[in-house]
Amino acid sequence: MIMMPTDFTSLRTWVSELVDVVMPPVCPVCGKAMLPGERTLCLQCRFELPRIAISDFTDNEIHTRLAMTARPITRASSVFHYLPASPHSRIVLATKYARRPDVGCSLLAEHARTLMSQGFFDGIDMIVPVPVHWIKRLRRGYNQSEELARAVSSVTSIPVISLISARRHGTQTHRSASLRLDNARSAFHVSPTAPDLADASHILLIDDVITTGATLIACRDIIHALSPATAVSVLTLALTRLR
């Protein structure tokens, strides 16, 4: 006879394990049922994840991508290279559109644990997610960058602050680099509930994917307009691979 646990925490674990036996979770990349011990991705897809091996946080390909203006980004890191329509692009699609932010959150949290041991978060006193407009958030059910920020906060214990708000704006597709940046700058403003940045020496911006970098540069400019001395670093789930 199967004995049901009596306390709530054990009961929840028991139900979760029972569901895993009846309906094993599937890998979001290949769609195959995951084996016991596999977490977030199956072992094969985890092995084939195009990870970004960054040993230098202060001068890497993300800095190059974000070098549109003179103000420097202090540290930068991403988990993997994103190539649209590739199998691993499903990680971004799941995180962003398919109500599975847990996929990206889990991978970014793992990455954050490694970064923490390397000093990436030293001196950072605030995590700021890139916002989405409230209509988009309502339609999607969540802001994936906020979810990712919370995942990093759970590893680092650095607080998440909603410093920036988003205005509704058009698509970035087919715009020139300078128009994209102008458009991104007009898309964000300081949140009415933003705290005073006088005490913030170093802010970490978190977003899902870096493509042109215009969004992150626009957010960084808002921070520097509020507090020119505050250092800004960047952490994302993915970096689009430019062909």
Residues found near Zn ion in the complex (CB under 5 A): 27, 29-30, 42, 45
Question: Which residue's CB is nearer to Zn ion, number 30 or number 83?
Answer: 30
Question: Which residue's CB is nearer to Zn ion, number 27 or number 128?
Answer: 27
Find the shortest distance in angstroms from Cβ 91 to Zn ion: 10
List C-alpha distances in Å: 175 to 135, 182, 229. Answer: 23, 10, 31
H or E stretch at 65: helix 61-65
Find the shortest distance in angstroms from Cβ 102 to Zn ion: 16
The span from the CA of 112 to the CA of 152, in Å, is: 6
Question: Would you mind telling me the total number of residues written for the chain in this entry?
Answer: 243
Question: Which residue's CB is nearer to Zn ion, number 41 or number 166?
Answer: 41
Find the shortest distance in angstroms from Cβ 4 to Zn ion: 33
DSSP string, 201-239: SEEEEEEEEESSSHHHHHHHHHHHHH-TT-EEEEEEEEE
List C-alpha distances in Å: 186 to 169, 170, 178, 200. Answer: 8, 11, 12, 24
Find the shortest distance in angstroms from Cβ 26 to Zn ion: 8
Question: Which residue's CB is nearer to Zn ion, number 30 or number 190?
Answer: 30
Find the shortest distance in angstroms from Cβ 29 to Zn ion: 4
CB 231 within 8 A of CB 127: no
Question: Which residue's CB is nearer to Zn ion, number 29 or number 232?
Answer: 29
Q: What is the largest CA-CA distance in the chain?
A: 69
